[in-house]
Amino acid sequence: MYITILSRGPQLYSTQSLFRAAQRHGHRVRVMNHTQFDIVIENGMPKLLYLGDELPQIDAVIPRIGSSVSYYGTSVVRQFEQLKIFSTVSSSAIRRSRDKLECLQLLSNCGLGIPKTVFSYDMTDSNYIIDAIGGPPMIIKLLSGTHGAGVVLAESYNAAQSVIDAFAATRQRFLVQEFIAEAKGSDLRALVVDGEVVAAMKRKARPGDFRSNLHRGGSSIHVKLTSAEEETAIKAAELLGLKVAGVDMLESDRGPLVLEVNPSPGLEGIEKTTQVDIAGKIIEYIERSISTC
């Protein structure tokens, strides 16, 4: 099979891990940079050019689309779909899950636990928003943030006002959320492939931080999820239409709460922590899907 990894970083751990797994499974694999495709739209003749040339044979693509080029990357994946080339994650699912608000709206409507969240048209009235969430401590979060960079904990009324005013003044889109204190700076990351949790880890924030992202210096351990956590992760990926997903959850007094669902989860932290060959599971998912097409 001819497999293409859509990635801007051929040397990145996740890209390399997928590359080696595809080779181990006997496939021809190449890395193509999604920002170097041209999308050509003509009546009944969808087309993609790569570096100005016609596409080589491709049976399946594995999108590894970073959030900084999400719009263009998603458009390229959509064009592969028009060409009837199999993609491990669909363009519409990538788009939906990149927006934290849309993601939470979809999940909450189907009975999954999420932290209470407020989003208003006019986010400039900070007192109103702070009261709507029930007061501090509270989380203020950019809708399209990633790696914990756009997530702020406001412990006092004044701090919340300042952050909301600053985000509103710079026209950032953000939401406010109840702070789940009992999670104690930890969260769970479950890797779901084709409706199954293939690996899970617990991440803990470094001392003094509440954000458990490994990019922020958090540490991780391999864990076995409870059945409620496992069901929540699988349901969240399913509701967003993601066949490959990294589901982030907080352990709360009222059960697992989903924070977000990542369509291009990093593999380095979770493969090293759990010793599970997740890239291999993704390749096996492609093999199953293409043999039944």
Ligand X SMILES: Nc1ncnc2c1ncn2[C@@H]1O[C@H](COP(=O)(O)OP(=O)(O)O)[C@@H](O)[C@H]1O
Q: Tell me which residues touch ligand X (CB under 6 A).
A: 115, 139, 141, 145-151, 177, 179-180, 183, 187, 210-213, 248, 250, 259-260
With respect to Mg ion, which residue has the nearer C-beta, 229 or 248?
248
CA atoms within 13 A on the CB side of 110: 15
- Of the pair 90, 213, the CB lying nearest ligand X is at 213
- Nearest Cα to Cα of residue 197 among 184, 207, 188: 188
> Shortest approach of Mg ion to residue 147 CB, angstroms?
8
Q: Which does 80 bind (CB under 5 to 8 A by kind): Mg ion, ligand X, none?
A: none
If residue 115 lies in a helix (H) or strand (E), which one and from where to where? none
CB atoms within 10 A of CB 200: 23
Burial of 211 (0-12, 13-18, 19+ CB in 10 A): buried
Amino acid code (one letter) for 212: S
Q: Do residues 80 and 92 touch, judged by C-beta distance below 8 A?
A: no
Amino acid 210 reads F
The option from Mg ion, ligand X, none interacting with 183 (CB < 5 to 8 A, set by class) reads ligand X
Find which of ligand X, Mg ion, none residue 115 binds, CB within 5 to 8 Å per kind.
ligand X
241 binds, among ligand X, Mg ion, none (CB under 5 to 8 A by kind): none
By C-beta, is 22 or 112 nearer to ligand X? Answer: 112
Which parts of this chain interact with Mg ion (CB under 5 A)? 248
Q: At closest approach, how far in Å is the CB of 138 from ligand X?
A: 8
Distance between CA atoms of residues 64 and 61, nearest Å: 9
Measured from the CB atom, is 83 or 181 closer to ligand X? 181
283 binds, among Mg ion, ligand X, none (CB under 5 to 8 A by kind): none
Provide the minimum distance between the beta carbon of 129 and ligand X in the complex, in angstroms, as a whole number: 15
Minimum distance from residue 189 beta carbon to Mg ion (Å): 8
| Residue whose CB is less far from ligand X, 19 or 210 | 210
Alpha helices in the chain (DSSP H): 13-24, 70-82, 91-98, 100-108, 126-133, 157-169, 227-240, 268-274, 278-292
DSSP run (H or E) holding 52: none
Least Å from the CB of residue 212 to Mg ion = 8
Smallest gap from residue 145 Cβ to ligand X (A):
4
